[in-house]
Amino acid sequence: MATNSIEIETRISLLLAVGRYLRAVDRFATASKEMTNACSELREQLSQSSRFVTRIDFQSFLVTSDDEGNFEVEQIDSL
Q: Mind listing the pLDDT tens digit of every residue in the chain (79 residues)?
A: 455 677 999 999 999 999 999 999 999 999 999 999 999 999 999 978 999 999 999 999 999 999 998 999 999 997 6
Per-domain residue ranges for the chain? 1-45, 47-79
CA-based max dimension of the chain: 72
Beta bridge partners of 75: 61
**CA of residue 2 relative to chain centroid, distance:** 44
- Report the alpha-carbon distance of residue 69 to residue 55 in Å, rounded: 22
- Report the alpha-carbon distance of residue 16 to residue 27 in Å, rounded: 17
Q: Can you give the pTM of this predicted structure?
A: 0.70
- Tally Cβ neighbours within 10 Å of residue 62: 13
